Amino acid sequence: MIPKAQLTEVIIELLKRASIRLPRSVKEKLKEALLKEEEEITKHQLETILENISIAEAKKIPVCQDTGVPMYFLKVGRNWPANNEVAAAIAEGTAKATKLIPLRENVIHPLTKENSGTNTGWGMPFIYYEMIPEDFTEIQVLLKGFGSEAKTSLAYIPTSEDVIRGTIKFVLDCARKGFGEPCPPYIVGVGMGGTSDIAALLAKKAFLRLPLGKKNPDRAAAGLEEKLLEALNATGIGSMGMGGKTTALAVHVELCGTHSAAVPVVFALQCWADRQAAVRIHSKGTLEYLED
Amino acid sequence: MGEYELQVPFREGEIRRLKIKDAVYVTGEVLTIRDMAYERILSALDSNEPLPFNLQGKVIWHAGPITKQEGGKWKPVSVGSTTSSRFTAPASRLIEKMGVKMVIGKGFMGPEALRALEEYGAVYAHTTGGTAAYYANQIPEIQGVHWLDLGMPAAVWILKVHRLGPLIIAMDSYGKNLFDELQSKVDASLQQILKDLKIDPHHKYLWWP
């Protein structure tokens, strides 16, 4: 176990990593996308994105002005003593990082619209907890910008119908409606099964799978990922909706068992600025920041 | 596809010259306006109250920047566009009632905005979304800020920009919208994709009637 003050510093470091630099595999896929394009306006979108990524890394500033709301995923290992300091350290780290990096002061009261100025308050930061049978505890942070977040959608596909075709139709309808607004080339997270809330969480967890484009070990899910990626890129929506060959950098599908009547399917997007970071805290207190 | 250097305030006829797909670089004053600032501007307009800034002939940017204070002065950190479609109605009113000449954002705005741009001789310029480190490099100075009580992302920031761009003219003052063309191409591709996959194009997967 590491002391609270040190844990706060770990959270600040995670937010720095997440807001300033992108995972290696995301940058690689963006570069690959540029090579495939021919239209000047589309190439320009991708060139600007790649130059922007370099500037952010060099100047150590947030890669996008919408640093989103931080989502925290805490996987609690065997030797992590149960205590209530973790949540406090995450909140303190979030508030300090907001001033230090700085992050945009995004978190508001949903009714009065009061801004706390710290990205905390009224239940934020929200932490998802999970128990894992390991000797380490892992903290993952995902910065969720709202241009892409606002396109999240839910459908129930009846099992009397072809669920694969139904999911493809639903995803294509969502992509058509969103067009260039959620900042393509984006990453698509599809959560299938459970109940609606489980499907929504799975769609978010899908973004945490690195390297980007790694297949789901479930063969049916992997097959659907491939079909969805092919269909999305055939639409020609392209970078920022300006037309082109790459609309999605990857599609990650996550599954959960569900009711025999209908499959809840949640469509979620992460913009090209796929900002995330993770750390493992080993039982003896050593830190291991994860890179893809 | 022309390329133009523009200085704010614009010269007579300069905006009418622009067509969709043109690339422009803007130098001069730009004001950031987004959700809560629009709400406050429109309520001032409705009750005939004065605003602390003038929008006549100006450029507004749908952006919620990250800024920091250094030695008593505000500095830009990361500044980029937010989705413009949700501002179709308020942006149209600012073009009509307050004389805004250029709106910068990402994505597109609806038909109401296109009509206002045509009638009052203004344009909408698209930026690449999320590239806020890139655009921050084109902002040498923050001249001031209004309504900071709305919070950093929602305040009205008066930016001095130098060659902000290239911005792509996505809606011009002749009723042309770049996205109409792009959307019809995508709709044709979608028809083919659904046909190949034997999916009924009219089937919607909503559970409730």
Nearest CA in chain B to A237: B186
- Separation CA B148–CA A46 (nearest Å): 33
- Residue B34 within any structural domain of the chain: yes
**pLDDT tens-place string over residues B138-165:** 999 999 999 999 999 999 999 999 999 9
A176 and A211 Cβ atoms separated by less than 8 Å:
no
Provide the token pair at A42: 């589309």
- Residue B189 within any structural domain of the chain: no
Give residue B48's domain range. 3-180
CA atoms within 13 A on the CB side of B111: 1
Classified as helix, coil or strand, B106 is strand
**pLDDT tens-place string over residues A57-102:** 999 999 999 999 999 999 999 977 767 789 999 999 999 999 999 9
Cβ–Cβ contacts within 10 Å for residue A245, how many? 17
Q: Do A169 and B203 touch (CB under 8 A)?
A: yes
pLDDT number for residue B209: 53
- Ordered by where they begin, the domains of chain A are 4-21+63-144+275-290 (3.30.1330), 147-270 (3.30.1330)
| Stretch A138-162: mean pLDDT | 96
- Residue B73 within any structural domain of the chain: yes
- Residue B194 within any structural domain of the chain: no
Q: Do A62 and B64 touch (CB under 8 A)?
A: no
CATH of the domain at B48: 3.20.130.10
**Nearest CB to B151; choose among A61, A64, A115:** A115
* Contacts for B80 with CB less than 8 Å, ≥ 6 apart: A64, A65, A66, B63, B65, B127, B129, B130, B131, B132, B134, B135
- Residue B191 within any structural domain of the chain: no
What is the Cα A180 distance to its own chain's centre? 18
- Residue B190 within any structural domain of the chain: no
Select the residue from B19, B34, B83, B88 to test the A interface by mutation, using most A Cβ atoms within 10 A.
B83
B42 to chain A nearest CA, in Å? 17
pLDDT number for residue A284: 85
Total of domains in chain B: 1
| Stretch B166-195: mean pLDDT | 97
- Residue B151 within any structural domain of the chain: yes
pLDDT number for residue B1: 82
Query: What is the interface pTM, i.e. ipTM, of the complex?
Result: 0.94
| Stretch B178-187: mean pLDDT | 96
**pLDDT tens-place string over residues A192-245:** 999 999 999 999 999 999 999 999 999 999 999 999 999 999 999 999 999 999
A163 and A190 Cβ atoms separated by less than 8 Å:
no
Tell me if chain A has a CB within 8 Å of the CB of B148: no
**Nearest CB to A155; choose among B65, B136, B205:** B205
- Residue B138 within any structural domain of the chain: yes
* Contacts for B165 with CB less than 8 Å, ≥ 6 apart: B23, B24, B25, B26, B138
